[in-house]
């Protein structure tokens, strides 16, 4: 089954404790992206990747890091989480380069930073 998986689905952590949210897709997609969703603000893009070893900032990259060492995985790293990073996070993927109009989203990771 074609899918995007995220782990963990729920996470409660404390300020400053480094964490990683994993994202993996099984569709051989080149394009991957991370979003956060906050009430009243819609989805905002954090980082995106057009292919392996190619990443770029989205609209709200501060406080986040990403890596794309292999095509299927695109982890989101919070080196020193803060309460304002409490949010619902989504990973998405697509074929990329305009070859597909559909983006597939993961189920979401609800993060709470206290």
Partner 1 sequence: DAKTTQPTSMDCAEGRAANLPCNHSTISGNEYVYWYRQIHSQGPQYIIHGLKNNETNEMASLIITEDRKSSTLILPHATLRDTAVYYCIVRVAFGNEKLTFGTGTRLTIIP
Among 74, 106, 111, 113, contact with partner 1 (rule: CB under 8 A): 106
- Looking at the Cβ atoms of 43 and 80, the one nearer to partner 1 is 43
For the purposes of burial, counting CB atoms within 10 Å of the CB of 34, is it exposed (0-12), middle (13-18) or buried (19 or more)?
buried
CA distance 98 to 11: 34
List Cα–Cα distances, 82 to 79, 95, 98, 114, in angstroms: 10, 33, 36, 8
Q: Find where tokens 């993060």 sit.
A: 111
- Looking at the Cβ atoms of 6 and 85, the one nearer to partner 1 is 6
Query: What Rg, from alpha-carbon coordinates, does the chain have?
Result: 13
Question: Taking CB under 8 A as the rule, does residue 43 contact partner 1?
Answer: yes
Question: Taking CB under 8 A as the rule, does residue 87 contact partner 1?
Answer: no
Question: Taking CB under 8 A as the rule, does residue 62 contact partner 1?
Answer: no
| DSSP code for 29 | -
- Looking at the Cβ atoms of 63 and 108, the one nearer to partner 1 is 108
Among 7, 13, 22, 45, contact with partner 1 (rule: CB under 8 A): 45
- Scanning 17-25, 45-53, 60-68, 70-78 for contacts with partner 1 by CB under 8 A, the matching segment is 45-53
């Amino acid at each position: 089954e074609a899918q995007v998986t995220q782990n963990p689905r729920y996470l409660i952590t404390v300020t400053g404790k480094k964490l990683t949210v994993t994202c993996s897709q099984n569709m051989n997609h080149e394009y991957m992206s991370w979003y956060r969703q906050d009430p009243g603000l819609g989805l905002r893009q954090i980082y995106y990747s057009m292919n392996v070893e190619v990443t770029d900032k989205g609209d709200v990259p501060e406080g986040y890091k990403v890596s794309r060492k292999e095509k299927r995985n695109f982890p989101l790293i919070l080196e020193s989480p803060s309460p304002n990073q409490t949010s619902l996070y989504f990973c998405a993927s697509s074929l990329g380069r305009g070859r597909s109009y559909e983006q597939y989203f993961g189920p979401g990771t609800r993060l709470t930073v206290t």
